Amino acid sequence: MSATEADFVIIGSGSAGSVMASRLSEDGKNRVIVLEFGGSDAGPFIQMPAALSYPMNMARYDWGFQSEPEPGLGGRRLVTPRGKVIGGSSSINGMVYVRGHARDFDHWADQGAAGWGYADVLPYFKRMENWHDGGHGGDPAWRGTEGPLHVGRGPRENPLFDAFVQAGAQAGFELTEDYNGEKQEGFGPMEQTVWKGRRWSTANAYLKPALKRENLQLIRCLARRVVIEQGRAVGVEVERRGRIEVIRARREVIIAASSINSPKLLMLSGIGPAAHLRDHGIEVVANRAGVGQNLQDHLELYIQQAATQPITLYKHWNLWGKAISGAQWLLTKRGLGASNQFESAAFLRSKAGVEYPDIQYHFLPIAVRYDGKAAAEGHGFQAHVGPMRSESRGEVTLKSADPREDPRIFFNYMSQDSDWEDFRRCIRLTREIFGQQAFDPYRGKEIMPGDAAQSDAALDDHIREHAESAYHPCGTARMGRADDPMAVVDPECRVIGVEGLRLADSSIFPRITNGNLNGPSIMVGEKASDHILGKAPLAAENVAPWINPRWQVSDR
Give the residue numbers annotated as catalytic, written as ranges: 472
Question: Strands 380-387, 501-503: parallel, antiparallel or unpaired by DSSP?
Answer: unpaired
The DSSP string of 42-60 is -SHHHH-GGGTTTGGG-TT
Asked whether the beta carbons of 198 and 204 are under 8 A apart, the reply is yes
12 is in an annotated binding site: no
Asked whether the beta carbons of 227 and 476 are under 8 A apart, the reply is no
Question: What residue spans of 394-490 are helical by DSSP H?
Answer: 417-434, 456-466
Asked whether the beta carbons of 271 and 495 are under 8 A apart, the reply is yes
Residues in the chain: 556
Question: What residue spans of 372-438 are helical by DSSP H?
Answer: 417-434
Question: What's the Cα-to-Cα distance from 341 to each of 190, 334, 335, 390, 554, rounded to whole Å?
Answer: 10, 13, 11, 27, 31
**CA 59 – CA 93 distance, rounded (Å):** 14
Asked whether the beta carbons of 413 and 435 are under 8 A apart, the reply is no
380 is in an annotated binding site: no
Question: Strands 149-153, 129-131: parallel, antiparallel or unpaired by DSSP?
Answer: parallel
Asked whether the beta carbons of 457 and 463 are under 8 A apart, the reply is no
85 is in an annotated binding site: yes
For residue 514, the 8-state DSSP code is: S
For residue 453, the 8-state DSSP code is: -
Binding-site residues for FAD, in ranges, read 85, 93-96
Binding-site residues, in ranges, read 85, 93-96
